[in-house]
Amino acid sequence: MSYSDTQAKAIHELCKVIDCEHKTAPYVKDSEFLVVRTSNVRDGRLVMADMKFTTKTGFDEWTQRAVPTHGDVLFTREAPAGESCLVPENKKICMGQRMVMLRPNKAKVDPFFLSIILATEKCKFDILRLSIGSTVSRINISDIKKLKVPAPPLPEQRQIAEILSTWDKAIVTTEKLIAASQQQKKALMQQLLTGKKRFAGFSEEWEEVRLLDIGKCITGLTYSPSDTVDDNGMLVLRSSNIQGGKLAFDDNVFVKSDLKVKSKTKDGDILICVRNGSKNLIGKSALIKGRASNEAHGAFMSLYRCQYPDYIFQLFQTNEYYRQVNRNLGATINSINNSDLHDFRFIIPTDKNEISMISKCLTSADQEIDALQSKLAYLKQEKKALMQQLLTGKRRVVLEAETSL
């Protein structure tokens, strides 16, 4: 039997709905009292980035209606509507504006089950359907109370919550491993790329080089809308094809294959964003390999073809590189040009074998991070598939009492 056969229940039957204070709490630089705003609730989690804090007096005033405790569910009413997360343990929280809190009746609904039900695509669609506003979706308190969610028997809710919480723990553990590995890689770069730490057997002095001394920048392709084609043309690599220092192919543009290209990409080239509406994206780079080879790159990009590409790519991830990028940004247009790039200067080993060893060490660290990120993507995908089955009733859990019969 699926949950379509189980009567759904309205939120007000399962929870007490508590509105926020409709005014802004007084902010302080730091304290133990968190002010959770809509931007702090995403994908079922409390996001600490850009968290605001208030005073003890502010906390007391903004929790007069109820003090959020572990097991309560925070729910955003606007920008966007329908994001939710459990109130974590050992946090003193008050709600910012455009928030509500759902206090589950634990005799009817498991708090974790409720939080994951609210995050399903079906529930998100229902929230969107109830939302109002042409530019910013928002949902009224009365509509939140009427929102219906599946409510299987409580023992089954708890069993589902336990199963999915196991996946969540694996996801959180992997995320922590990624963060730790990235921090270790950053420290390793700081040591190896500055010569503070050297491999045994190398003692020669390092030398300053300009990028022009060891390579050259290649200008990108200018094309018009009439040149664009569907998926059977030549790929033009653009800023959107660089995500987190890696190549991505989620947003592609193709042009006619017979367009004249100054130089098509080769494995080992470094693709660099040299112009963008956001100056924070200037300088981001990725190594060309595999699918991105033998293609074109756009006019707002540059291609750096050089000796030691693996080593230079690592240099392009450092603070020193971005210091030089920012120093050369145009006064009115967010851009750097090839002559600027050619004049970038770095201290590098004179021994090619030392360059090779440093490159291999840092590339190996990147590969370990990539493996963990692939594992994380797999865990999230598997959890999503399992949620789809368990939270729609397409797959029903077997309760312990049933297995003993």
- Please report the pLDDT score of residue 230 as a whole number: 86
Q: Note the helical H segments in 215-351.
A: 309-315, 319-328, 338-342
Residues in the chain: 405
- Please report the pLDDT score of residue 399 as a whole number: 66
Split the chain (405 residues) into runs of 10 and give each run's mean pLDDT.
Answer: 64 95 93 96 90 96 95 92 92 94 95 90 86 76 92 91 92 96 96 95 95 96 91 93 93 92 94 91 95 95 96 97 92 87 97 97 96 96 88 72 45
Nearest to 147 by CA among 2, 17, 6, 5: 17
- Please report the pLDDT score of residue 199 as a whole number: 96
Bridge partners for 304 per DSSP:
217, 270
Six token digits for residue 254: 């193709």
Domains detected in the chain: 3-151 (3.90.220.20), 154-206+352-405 (1.10.287.1120), 208-348 (3.90.220.20)
The pTM assigned to this predicted structure is 0.82
Handedness of CA 357, 360, 366, 368 (dihedral sign): negative
- Pairing state of beta strands 148-149 and 9-10? antiparallel
* DSSP 3-state of 329: coil
Please compute, for residue 69, the number of CA atoms within 13 A of its CA located in the half-sphere on the CB side.
5
Q: Note the helical H segments in 19-140.
A: 56-62, 111-118, 121-130
Longest dimension (CA), the chain: 78
- Please report the pLDDT score of residue 391 as a whole number: 79
- E strand or H helix that includes residue 354: helix 352-390
Q: Rounded to the nearest 5°, which phi and psi values hold at 216?
A: -150, 155
- Please report the pLDDT score of residue 396 as a whole number: 75
